[in-house]
Amino acid sequence: MRRREFVQLAAGVTMTWPLAARAQQKAMPVIGILDVGDPAPLLKAFRDGLREKGYVEGKNIRLEVRSPLGNAKTLAALAKELVDLQVDVIVAKFTPAVRAAMEATKTIPIVMAPAGAPVETGLVASLSRPGGNITGRSGTAAELGGKRLELIREFLPSANRVGVLAHSTDPFTKPFLDEMQTAASQLGMQIRPVMVSAAGEFEAAFSTLQKDGADCVIIQPSLPEKPAIDMAVNLRLPPFGLFGSSVHKGALMSYAPRDEDAYRSAATYVDKILKGAKPADLPVEQPTMFELVINLKTAKTLGLTVPPSLLARADEIIE
């Protein structure tokens, strides 16, 4: 079985549709899903959101899932596959996936689920009037850079040099790093970014971080997070994530909007678009609720004690 076929079967989506079957099924709306990593978390909440809107998969809606599982180089080809299938809407998670879909089509509606700094990266004209064929949910990974560093300082008071494993081809990387650099200068901290594009570059990247004297590392989620987090823990370099899902993969802590909210929001946008709304007229949604997630298991593995002040404020604690 080819790797791409395995990815889609693993996501629980029927992969091969004979031409005649596709012609019959086209009366049923087809939603393309493009995720840079494991699509399972997005699919679970997105399907829940669809059911709340009255959609039953296989009866009145169908999903086509594509994921390069962290290999961003194949995103363009996967986005083209969805366009060639003539899906009705593409739901794309994170900026690289949204950009790949944007470059593949100017007519099929694209829903961000989510994408960071969509105005700064050129995905939409503005949050209130996105224009073009893209709308959806904006991420806040850049805007929360200062808050994230404050929490790291509270967790690790001696941390002054913060390493960042950053995605070299993600358009979001620049605003993400710029915001953190500004916040770090105000907090008397240093940011040490190392640019990578695939898991095969992690070993050299972590070696560089160690030589630079990084006290911890923030891992950008458009990279393959799980192997990066595991490597950081093995090297005794405390890893921090940007989303709650990062902490469930083993990162020490995150402060961010709930992942599930963005995925359910995508279902709301899809419903509106299928009922005739134009993406250009649907304002980009910004999250208003945030959660602090802490992984006690990883802290114990690294021999770290989580400050009681953080534990008292945590919305979720993984033990």
Number of domains in the chain: 2
State whether 149 and 165 are in the same domain: yes
pLDDT at 69: 80
- Do 228 and 295 share a structural domain? yes
Q: 229 and 99: one domain?
A: no
User: Are residue 210 and residue 238 in the same domain, yes or no?
Assistant: yes
pTM of the model as a whole: 0.86
Per-residue pLDDT, 27: 79
Q: What is the pLDDT of residue 140?
A: 75
Does 171 share its domain with 41? no
Residues 102 and 230 in one domain: no
Q: Which residue has the tokens 């005649």?
A: 20
Spans of the chain, pLDDT less than 50: 1-25
What is the structure's pLDDT at 26? Answer: 55
Residues 113, 213, single domain; the answer is no
Domain extent, residue 164, equals 145-257+291-318
Segment 262-288, tens digit of pLDDT? 999 999 999 999 999 999 999 999 998
Do 271 and 205 lie in one domain? The reply is: no
- Residue 101 near residue 129, CB atoms below 8 Å: no
The distance in angstroms from the start CA to the end CA of the chain is 38
- 278 and 306 part of one domain: no
Q: What is the CATH number of the domain that holds 37?
A: 3.40.50.2300
CA distances (Å), origin 1, targets 6, 8, 15, 34, 215: 7, 11, 12, 21, 43
